[in-house]
A = this chain, B = another copy of it.
Amino acid sequence: MMTKQFEEKNHHYQKRINTFLADFLTQHYSKSNRLIEAMSYSLLSGGKRIRPLLSYATSEALGLDLKQADFIAASVEMIHAYSLIHDDLPAMDDDDLRRGKATCHVKYDEATAILAGDALQAMAFEVLTLVNTDPQIVVKLIAQLCQSCGAIGMAGGQSLDLESENKQLQLAEMDNIHQLKTGALIAAAVEMVGILDPKCTEKTQQALKKYAYNFGMAFQIIDDVLDIIGDAKEIGKPIGSDIGNNKSTYPAIMGLDASKSAAIKHSKEAVSQLQHLPNDSSYLRYLAQYLVSRKT
């Protein structure tokens, strides 16, 4: 399949998840108020929807009904949206803009933004209770999401990241932070689809796990790399100028070229896992390859 066709697939699935999320809000939270407006504002503000794309791609690779993947994709994106709202707060990263729009606490107010994040987290678990499958599987899905987003997952990683500010980290420490902060939820987007599949063997689940791990690592390294290249374009700062300052990034620790190579290595390692999957995994391959070539 040509790149253009995969780009269309991205577009198709982005539209699919956006519609699902909008419909979910309308159906389950029909009586609008300030809080629900703030939740919708952040949840429906677009973005690449990379986690939902991973859920749909995994669903394709396992030959599953996409209607079940909708719920996984939605729950993970709700957690992602809540984490962005809270990360943007003045007490955290203090960001005014997100995807070119005012952040939730700027558009509304801090208290509403805190509550919108809180309520989106509850909604992420709610959407999983609605998956139409064996309840034992539903419980496993919920357990996986709890661990991915809680104190030994995403929230834990964000806390370690804040603690590490102005400290020079070792590579292993930084790997650990990113595996928790961004990796755990990316892994959930993939592995939860595996849990959904009653035919998924231990071997397949392990392949998904390794795919997701390497995808997450490549994703984070490229994020750091783009931060520098982006800076170079935007404010004329020389490439690699973050190296040596107190911001722990992959380029700062291992240099820009080595970072790019590491990202490519992880992307290839992710792709190598796909041979263990039962159905057409070309879209998962595309996503892992697109990742390291992306410009934004």
Give the B-binding residues of A (Cβ under 8 A).
29, 31, 33-36, 39, 82, 86, 89, 91-92, 105, 109-112, 114-115, 117-119, 121-123, 125-126, 128-129, 134-136, 138-139, 142-143, 145-147, 149-153, 155-156, 158-160, 162-163
Contact = CB atoms under 8 A, between A and B. Distances in A.
A114 B86 contact: yes
B36 A151 contact: yes
Contact of A123 (B91, B112, B134, B146): B146
Contacts of A123: 146, 150-151
Given A111-B162, A128-B142, A134-B135, 7 more contacts: A35-B155, A35-B160, A91-B110, A112-B159, A115-B155, A117-B118, A126-B143
User: Interface on chain A toward B: helix, strand, loop, or mixed SS?
Assistant: helix
Contact of A129 (B119, B139, B163): B139
Given A143-B129, A146-B126, A119 B156 contact: yes
Given A35-B159, A136-B135, A122 B142 contact: no
A158 B109 CA distance: 14
A115 B147 contact: no
A150 B122 contact: yes
Contacts of A110: 91
A139 B109 CA distance: 34
A162 B92 contact: no
A35 B138 contact: no
Contacts of A33: 156, 159-160, 163
